[in-house]
Chain A
Amino acid sequence: AQTVTQSQPEMSVQEAETVTLSCTYDTSENNYYLFWYKQPPSRQMILVIRQEAYKQQNATENRFSVNFQKAAKSFSLKISDSQLGDTAMYFCAFIITGTASKLTFGTGTRLQVTL
């Protein structure tokens, strides 16, 4: 079975600063995708960034980047130049390639961006 662990229930960062959210996962599979999703208060979950396990290069999307360490089964999210609109729950998620079905989510990290 696959598991995803987010060990930081809550984090806080000042506007314009950088914050890193951690995620570890466990699987015996070799081909999979990893995701970070953002769920703002009372709003829908949206995809922030995606990483294919076979790619060594870390994915980046504007202010968001990941540090993917396959051997360590670690997948952290770095948010640079934090903005008030980044305040949300962030979920790390995992899917095995070819299963075309269920994502396995972590328990989430609540990020608060302050002035």
Chain B
Amino acid sequence: DTGVSQDPRHKITKRGQNVTFRCDPISEHNRLYWYRQTLGQGPEFLTYFQNEAQLEKSRLLSDRFSAERPKGSFSTLEIQRTEQGDSAMYLCASSLGVGSMDSPLHFGNGTRLTVT
């Protein structure tokens, strides 16, 4: 068990560019979550997958954001036409969920995005 890993750790991009982040969950975890954390705030939920199905999306997830989990393993989060307001830490978490029960969420180290 190597934990949840996220890549890259840091990303600096210019406004208008597209960026993609990757998350590798704990291997046996079927649920995967993306959160966004801005300075001085707690994480805010963005979206959630059970296996390869994206089951819920927050209103925070504008149409510039897209997330995938094509084979129910790793996930990618893409932001198109980045804006300065997208600057934040993007956290990935995973859990083992059976029915309505979840194991505690395990978080990755996050990807810090800076849009200049």
Determine the residue in chain A with the shortest Cβ distance to B110.
Answer: A44
Q: Which single residue of chain B is at the shortest CB-CB distance from A43?
A: B109
Task: Please tell me if the beta carbons of A91 and B104 are within 8 angstroms of each other in the complex.
Answer: no
Whole-angstrom distance between the alpha carbons of A106 and B107 in the complex? 16
Taking a contact as CB atoms under 8 Å apart, the answer to whether B44 and A105 are in contact is yes
- On whether the beta carbons of B48 and A107 are closer than 8 Å, the reply is no
Mark each residue of chain B from 31 to 67: 1 if its CB lies under 8 Å from any CB of chain A, else 0.
1010100001111110010100001101000000000
**How many chain A residues touch B (Cβ–Cβ < 8 Å)?**
24
Say yes or no: A100 contacts B42, CB within 8 Å: no
B2 at the A interface (CB under 8 A): no
Interface range, B side = 20 to 34
- In the bound complex, residues from chain B placing their C-beta under 8 Å from that of A35 are 104
Q: Is the CB of B97 within 8 A of A102?
A: no
B30 CB to nearest A CB, Å: 10
Nearest CB in chain B: distance from A11 CB, A: 15
CA distance A37 to B107 in the complex (A): 10
- Chain A residues with Cβ under 8 A from B101's Cβ? 100
A90-110 Cβ-contact flags toward B at 8 Å (1 or 0): 010101011111111111100
